[in-house]
Chain A
Amino acid sequence: MSSSTQQSQASMLAAAVPVVSVRGLVKNYGDVQALRGVDFDVPAGSVLGFLGPNGAGKTTAIKILCGYLAADAGSVSVCGLDVATHALEVKRRIGYLPENNPVYTDMRVEDFLRFAARARGLSAAAVRNGIDRVIVQTGLAEVYRRYVGQCSKGFRQRVGLAQALIHDPELLVLDEPTNGLDPLQVVEMRALIRELGLTKTVIITSHVLPEIEALADNVVLIHRGKKIADGPLATIAADFSGGLPVRFSVSCSASQFEQLLATLPAQVVENRRAAFAAAMPNVHAAVVEVDGPSGVAALAEAAHASGYPLLELTPLGGSLEALFQSLRFGGEG
């Protein structure tokens, strides 16, 4: 089957009922409010990126979703079944790779996968098929007979993913799946997840935006236990288009630069006039905020109209990135 037909199938499925539906989820650890009423849906066949700074409550929500923790209030349903009342049925439908990928290091890869398959209640034949399938899918053939503890971190991560896939679950939940991997392993793991996302409903959490940008169709952005944005990445980016930071630099005198800044159709964030003063007295730079891509064009026009040579005009990342950075530095929630 080609990937385009798989994708069209996935988008057809997306029209149906959501695979995951979370409503008003609340969880406190003592005095600490980890989740303060979170709602979101995951449409069938889509990849949801669950994004937030460390400590935002992502992992807590995932642990409730997978039945490891109990919620203080609110509900989670998976495939129409409530997690609180139909725990076993829900757990059977989920393949879960917990944060930090806990695996039994004292078992051989094959024994661990067999245990995971039987734990999911598969029949003897399904256990064999499942193991054969995930060994190929996750590329574990060369470490199959090794102890999990003797595998490299990259392979261990694949073992974790393999146990989550062994029963061909309807929903795949991956909590920080590329955390701690080296750059090459990150690329491999992302490719694997992207492939899985073609045919499965996937929830993937991350505290790094590029990961979510690379993998997810929809994003839920949470901060300090509250959802602050929800939807396709492009839509969220548009919602937060208030300030797109742009670095620009022109060649002129200091007073001319001040005048130019005052007339720009943008807000000055940081004036770096002095930055190049010693080496190049006529080069002046500033970081300004404009309203999205059209603002960048207006800025270029204004600089051109002034007649000073324009040396640089660089948008500094997407507006979502800027928002996300501000959350991250605004304090851990």
Chain B
Amino acid sequence: MRSLLIARREFFTAFDSPVGYVILAMFPAMAAALFFVLGPFFLQGEASMRGFFAWIPWLLVVLAPAISMRIWAEERRSGTEELLLTFPFQLRDLVVGKFLGAWAILGVALLFTAGVPITLECLGDLDWGPVLGGYVSAMLLGGASLAVGLFLSALTANQIVAWLLGVTVLMFFNLVGGAATASAMPPGFGRLLLAIDFGEHFHSITRGVIGLGSVAFYFAVMVLFLCANGIVMERRRWS
């Protein structure tokens, strides 16, 4: 698997950079703070992580583009893109490799939030089924968000622009379902909006039902944006 070579480089580079450490420190800290401090955890009186996972889509709106912003934009800014594209890689090895590397970084960031369920287990009797389901769906949602972020990173040589675009587009995909129930919305269009809402699929999984449709949706988003990413790269050779 040639793409694993790329994935490994992305992964370890992230842990060699201050941005990587900030992401890995911020994400668990923010997740825990939102859950324990701002959420109703201490009022609800039960050892459940539902409140924790409710925040995850919004955290990912900020975090996923923070991971992906550097990945293509920095290659382009520093010129190393030329090196990478003249090494004997298939374009799909590069695109998939970059994606897997980013996904692994997100996985570590999520792993660092393990303190939350462990704390709950100490405080009360935690049902681990929904917790694992929640983490799986967080990875799926995160993967889709990263694919969007990577595509946007490939459009610019500026990391900040890539991040801002990522936050904006992911915000759209997380809010679009909310418009579905507006009274003026034609029902068919409303259903479509609901179907493409990132958070809607996430919550349906964290409710305990890992619906095949939702899993397929996230994978479809990943494939779609990774293909778009590849097309952007290929088109640039012709410009």
Residues on A facing B (Cβ under 8 Å): 29-30, 63, 66-70, 87-89, 91-92, 94, 96, 98, 100, 102-107, 115-116, 118-121, 163
Contacts and interface: CB of A to CB of B under 8 A. Distances in A.
Contacts of A98: 79, 82-83, 86
Given A67-B85, A106-B16, A100 B79 contact: yes
B87 interface: yes
Contact of A92 (B83, B88, B238): B88
9 contacts: A63-B82, A87-B88, A98-B86, A102-B80, A107-B9, A119-B84, A119-B89, A121-B2, A121-B88
A103 B82 CA distance: 10
B239 interface: yes
Given A69-B237, A106-B13, A119 B87 contact: yes
Contacts of A120: 87-88
Contact of A106 (B17, B83, B85): B17
Interface in B82-99: 82-90
A68 B85 contact: yes
Nearest to B90: A88
A66 B86 contact: yes
B183 interface: no
Interface string B217-239: 00000000000000000000111
A280 B82 CA distance: 60
A91 B5 contact: no
Contacts of A68: 82, 85-86, 237
Nearest to A91: B88
Given A29-B239, A107-B13, A116-B87, A102 B78 contact: yes
Given A70-B238, A98-B83, A107-B13, 8 more contacts: A69-B237, A102-B81, A102-B82, A104-B9, A115-B9, A118-B5, A119-B5, A120-B88
A165 B188 CA distance: 60
A200 to B, nearest CB: 17
A191 to B, nearest CB: 25
Contacts of A87: 88
Contacts of A106: 13, 16-17
A187 to B, nearest CB: 26
| Cβ-closest 3 pairs across A and B | A102-B79, A91-B88, A119-B87
Contacts of A105: 78
Given A102-B79, A102-B80, A106-B17, A96 B237 contact: no
A63 B82 CA distance: 9
B207 to A, nearest CB: 42
Contacts of A119: 5, 84, 87-89
Interface string B189-200: 000000000000
The listed residue with most A CB atoms (<10 A of its CB), out of B81, B87, B90, is B87
Interface in B55-97: 78-90
The listed residue with most A CB atoms (<10 A of its CB), out of B2, B78, B81, is B78
Given A102-B78, A102-B80, A115 B5 contact: yes
B60 to A, nearest CB: 25
B85 to A, nearest CB: 5
Nearest to A175: B82
Contacts of A30: 239
Contacts of A96: 83, 86
Nearest to B14: A106
A306 to B, nearest CB: 60
B40 to A, nearest CB: 43
A287 B201 CA distance: 82
Contacts of B237: 68-70
Nearest to B239: A29
Nearest to A94: B86
Contacts of B90: 88
Contacts of B17: 106
A232 B238 CA distance: 33
Contacts of B5: 115, 118-119
The listed residue with most A CB atoms (<10 A of its CB), out of B78, B81, B88, is B88
Nearest to B86: A66
Contacts of B83: 96, 98, 102-103, 163
The listed residue with most A CB atoms (<10 A of its CB), out of B2, B9, B90, is B9
Contacts of B88: 87-89, 91-92, 119-121
Nearest to B235: A70
B86 A67 contact: yes
Contacts of B238: 69-70
Nearest to A87: B88
